Structure 1
Amino acid sequence: MSDFQCNSRRSAVVCRNGCVASSQPLASQAGIDILKAGGNAADAAVAMAAALNVTEPCSTGIGGDAFCLFYDAKTKKVHALNGSGRAPAGLTLDLLNKQGYNATNPFPVQHGHAVTVPGAAAAWVDTVDRFGSGKLSLAQILQPAVDLAEDGYPVQQITALSWSKGAPTLLTPKNKHGGDLLIEGKAPVYGQVIRLPHLAQTFRELGRLGKKGFYEGRIAKAIVDAVETFGGVMTMDDLKSHVTTYEDPISTDYRGYRVWEIPPNGHGMAALIALNVLEAYDLKKLEANSAEYLHLVIEALKLGFADTTWYCADPSKVDIPLSTLLSKEYATKRRQLIQNNSAMKNVSKGNLNIGPDTVYFTTADSQGNSCSFINSNFMGFGSAIVPEGCGFTLQNRGSGFSLEPSHPNVIAPNKRPYHTIIPAMVTDSKTGDLVMSYGVMGGFMQPQGHVQVLLNMLEFGMNPQQALDQPRICIGGGYGYDESYVSVEDGISDETIKGLRDKGHSMRGPLVGSDRSLFGRGQAITSGNFWDNSDGALPSNGRIYWCGSDPRADGMAIGY
């Protein structure tokens, strides 16, 4: 689809009572409906997570993992929830080596070993329990998704394209139930109505029974049987013992604003390290997306990834020197590499093979709470393994582990892998007020998108929709971090591309049409027009939300 256009002429949505933004209109509507029914930002986010499973199963689902940041307006505190799963207790590096798998010959992405315990279901339940309004039951929150799955809905354009690309993975000989996500063996086309009755039943059981409805009983048995069919070693005990964890989010101050990210095993640290490096430069004097500006952004991000691809791992299994890596003093030392024009010559320590398929969405409510939420299968349909009678695919996050014995992220029993999905938030450093809830999905594009969208607003005065509309760069190709080249999106000028080549960068692009999916799909909600207000003060007439939705997706922002 080289003629596919991602151009937007949208205004930022402006509202007072609450808003949502996602990559699917029907999911956004589900979130607004929950807000209007008395739910808060957390309730709406879970409703959208489930609705996105129905409307975009080629990117996300209850068989995947999830993370969220929640801003509590009463306490002005940002909370982090880690809903990623762990490797089975019986999955050891020794077992893999005996089966012939190692760093140079990893297991296939559709192997049972690629499936870690799905964490999304527990994350949804725990988000509602910990951060929800208490006014709506989980069953009520999941009902919009149940209705969509049971009654059917017409598939959106970009989703239809992704579904078509992933359909062959659902039809492998071992995947007996992959057809549950197809229509007569084929992916639905743009505008075609599809029904997912098995998924509706899964949501009903989760709503009625809570986590036991997923991690014990019928669904758990179906998951274990499916993983075993594909050579995995997951057990019922692995599922029953899964727990969500609540973390202290990591953050840094950037020009009076505190930028929040999920800590490892998520790779949000890459964005924070890059922002620390960039803070010393007067970016406002540079033109947005000029060669001079993008050169600094590229070099700062490379420095961030050099540390992240080595150190990012499960912090319950390895020590990660976050206090050092996120310090301003460390940024000063790393900045010298840019000044010496040698930022990334032989600096990178790791290289992971990570895919970009995910959904990011965000919500805000009338009380001033906000939820930044991300949910993912990993690579498209993930492993594409469909448990019997369940209507969803299982993720393949195990492919994010290293099989190098000395690597901090080496695979091990009950260990969480390196995770690319990261929600973000911004607060006022002085007051603690919410400034923005935002994110950009897309594998290794995610920290890069976080930095670019934020700087578009803070340095160049764009509103959230304008910031999302701007063309982006991506170091490497998204599926694996590769610092040897930089991809550029259609809209980056020929002059800029030439200028970056002159500075020594190997350039690819500009990418056009559906290839622009490499640059991710973001959503953003801001509280007040902080991008045009140097002191960060809220409007005098009370809270105003400004919302934007990425033109590279099918979605929309809705407020009321």
Structure 2
Amino acid sequence: MCKPIAAALSAMALFGAAMSADELGAGGRPVGEIWSRSPVYAQNGIAATAHPLASQVAIDILKEGGSAVDAAIAANAALGLMEPTGNGIGGDLFAIIWDPETEKLYGYNGSGRSPKGLSYDTLIEKLDGADSLPPFGALPVSVPGAVDGWFAMHGRFGKLPMRENLAPAIAYAEDGFPVSPVIATYFSMNYARFTEEGLREQIEEFANAEATYFSDGPPEAGEIFRNPDLAKTYRTLARKGRRAFYEGELARTMSDYMERIGGYLRYEDFAAHEGEWVEPACVSYQGAELCELPPNGQGFAALQMLNILKNADLASMDRAGPEIFHTMVEAKRLAFEDLARYYADPDTSEFPMELLSEEYGQERFALIDPEKPLGNPGPGGPWDSDGDTTYLTVADKDGMMVSLIQSNYRGMGSGLVPDGLGFMFQDRGQLFSLDPNHPNVYAPGKRPFHTIIPAFAMKDGQPWISFGLMGGAMQPQGHVQVMVNILDFGMNLQEAGDAARFNHSGGRAPTGNLDDQPADTGRLSVEPGVPMATVKALRAMGHNVEVIDNGIIFGGYQAIMRQDNGVYVGATEMRKDGTVAGY
């Protein structure tokens, strides 16, 4: 390089150091909020996912004549390859589908169960005094339900053969694709956790995971990544269907692997698995209805929050002010107290539907002190009562809309990759309680409490918004914030997701004991878009507030809205790598 050019570049570097990008604000916009961007409009089909290539895969399937379900499966398969930091066929799946032919919402619970051969007493013995299941290794692994979910949805609503739906992901797995920036960051975070002293020892076998994902350390942004083992697994599914995964060669490979490393899942666990079609429940709010799936997921917590908040006039409050944040956070805390007490596998614990009544919402709202946080609200009742993620949504030319969420839990999952299959087992079983009196207590062949929840909003009896906001306990409170942004404050679909969020953590948890007492009011995390005056006011009220600017704990949002004229509106957001594609 010639010296004048080198000197100029050096001067530019020095100038950049003195005037960092952090000091340069956003540009302007001709319409809408300065901190957002335009929604995407499309007439024939649309897809919003956490990866641009997956969104394009969905559109390609729609153009080939596939239904929204076909496109959602194709996109989910691509994301299992491209975003293994959040999902994959080693995990579970939940979906809400609007079918225009029957004019009905359908829900699917594709969550797997704990090993039948691992008793509660044996688990307690293995934990050796620990008060919870570990985050990694074989103990928290439950049967993966995602593949079952694909084939159940396809059997009911698919138009293309599964080999066509899986073909794009197979090609990308074999030929490779460039890793995107946010996913590269999550690769690094997961690798650091897997190799951290004290955690690495929980993983019985890590060589397979290293060979599959970390052969040269965590993949970097722009690096070409391949997964030929996953391509082979997808080819087997394309040829032999669901049976291969739960009763055929893939099931035997997974069982043999678990037996080899001292795990507990066996062939019989895979063969016994079946997901189920379930009925979504809805609550009204400001002229619309939010619909969620029943437990063992946490979707009903969002419905409880709205039933509390409908007793407040949020629209009259300053959206950036302390009053609305305090009110919404207290509603969240009240709903999550019930979540910690009553949400569990419905096969073993009946959910008290009184929790979703408007009268109960009024009772809980009456507990909120407008001046300070509640000290220890506790759950309602008593009534007798026997977790990182990817979200995507697709809509097609016929009006079918799919809201789908899929996860391994805790980022990539357990750290265990079965021999030659190219995916990681989930660690969802970590969300069991060890309290023998808790509805969510561990038991063999039982589904754990689940964090992943798809959402769907209706208006005047018609499908309106298919959406989700991934990210552990952030999800119900995120769903509610999106609804409030749209219905109370008139934000468009894109702005509703881009607006600064809060994430409250703390309080009782479904993994704890029934007699747990929260030590404090928890932690209220907010994004930098919340004014500092509001942060200070909330602290003065007694909230433990921190400002976090990396977006990680605030989830990732995708949404599709159907207008009255049939045109779709799509949105995704800056906290993930995704885009909206349409045609």
TM-score (norm 1): 0.91
Q: In structure 2, do the counterparts of structure 1 residues 204 and 246 end up closer, same or farther at CA, with 3 Å as the change threshold? A: same
Find the counterpart in structure 1 of residue 341 from structure 2.
310
Q: Show the 5 A alignment for 1:38-77.
A: 38-77=65-104
Find the counterpart in structure 1 of residue 545 from structure 2.
507
Per-residue Cα deviation, 1:267-298 (whole angstroms, up to 9, x for no partner): 01110000001112111111223211111110
Question: What's the secondary structure of 2:294's corresponding residue?
Answer: coil
Is the aligned partner of 1:138 residue 2:138?
Answer: no
Find the counterpart in structure 2 of residue 347 from structure 1.
377
Q: Show the 5 A alignment for 1:175-214.
A: 175-182=206-213, 184-214=215-245
The structure whose Rg is larger is 2
Q: Show the 5 A alignment for 1:103-122.
A: 104-122=130-148
Contact 2:85 2:187 in 1 (8 A): yes
Find the counterpart in structure 2 of residue 522 from structure 1.
557
Contact 2:304 2:361 in 1 (8 A): yes
Tell me by how many angstroms 1:339 deviates: 4.4
Per-residue Cα deviation, 1:287-337 (whole angstroms, up to 9, x for no partner): 223211111110111111110111110001112102x00000111111111
Give distance in 2, aligned partners of 1:452 and 1:478.
Answer: 20
Per-residue Cα deviation, 1:213-237 (whole angstroms, up to 9, x for no partner): 1112332223223333454211101
Contact 1:21 1:558 in 2 (8 A): yes
Q: In structure 2, do the counterparts of structure 1 residues 397 and 479 end up closer, same or farther at CA, with 3 Å as the change threshold? A: farther
Find the counterpart in structure 1 of residue 398 from structure 2.
367
Q: In structure 2, do the counterparts of structure 1 residues 110 and 479 end up closer, same or farther at CA, with 3 Å as the change threshold? A: farther
Is the aligned partner of 1:338 residue 2:389?
Answer: no
Contact 2:337 2:509 in 1 (8 A): no
Find the counterpart in structure 1 of residue 463 from structure 2.
434
Tell me by how many angstroms 1:503 deviates: 2.3
Give the residue type in structure 2 aligned to 1:552. Answer: R
Tell me by how many angstroms 1:75 deviates: 2.6
Per-residue Cα deviation, 1:462-496 (whole angstroms, up to 9, x for no partner): 11111111010000289979851201111111011
Find the counterpart in structure 1 of residue 489 from structure 2.
460
Structure 2, unaligned stretches of length 5 or more?
1-19, 27-34, 381-386, 511-517
Give distance in 2, aligned partners of 1:327 and 1:81.
Answer: 23
Q: Show the 5 A alignment for 1:71-90.
A: 71-90=98-117
Q: Aligned residue pairs: how many?
A: 533
Give distance in 1, aligned partners of 2:526 and 2:469.
Answer: 16
Find the counterpart in structure 2 of residue 165 from structure 1.
189
Question: What's the secondary structure of 1:71's corresponding residue?
Answer: strand
Give the residue type in structure 1 aligned to 2:562. Answer: S
RMSD: 2.3
Q: Show the 5 A alignment for 1:294-305.
A: 294-305=325-336
Find the counterpart in structure 2 of residue 32 from structure 1.
59
Give distance in 2, aligned partners of 1:26 and 1:326.
Answer: 39
Structure 1, unaligned stretches of length 5 or more?
351-355, 529-537
TM-score (norm 2): 0.87
Is the aligned partner of 1:495 residue 2:533?
Answer: yes
Q: Show the 5 A alignment for 1:407-418.
A: 407-418=438-449
Q: In structure 2, do the counterparts of structure 1 residues 6 and 511 end up closer, same or farther at CA, with 3 Å as the change threshold? A: farther
Contact 1:360 1:375 in 2 (8 A): yes
Q: In structure 2, do the counterparts of structure 1 residues 398 and 349 end up closer, same or farther at CA, with 3 Å as the change threshold? A: farther
Find the counterpart in structure 2 of residue 551 from structure 1.
574
Per-residue Cα deviation, 1:331-357 (whole angstroms, up to 9, x for no partner): 11111111476764223469xxxxx61
Question: What's the secondary structure of 2:327's corresponding residue?
Answer: helix
Give the residue type in structure 2 aligned to 1:346. Answer: N
Find the counterpart in structure 1 of residue 149 from structure 2.
123
Tell which deviates more after alignment, 172-181 or 39-48: 172-181
Tell which deviates more after alignment, 477-486 or 165-174: 477-486
Tell me by how many angstroms 1:100 deviates: 4.0
Find the counterpart in structure 2 of residue 535 from structure 1.
none
Question: What's the secondary structure of 1:359's corresponding residue?
Answer: strand
Find the counterpart in structure 2 of residue 254 from structure 1.
285
Is the aligned partner of 1:16 residue 2:43?
Answer: yes
Give the residue type in structure 2 aligned to 1:365. Answer: D
Give distance in 2, aligned partners of 1:6 and 1:204.
Answer: 48
Give distance in 2, aligned partners of 1:547 and 1:393.
Answer: 31
User: Percent identity of the aligned residues?
Assistant: 41
Find the counterpart in structure 2 of residue 265 from structure 1.
296
Tell me by how many angstroms 1:197 deviates: 0.3
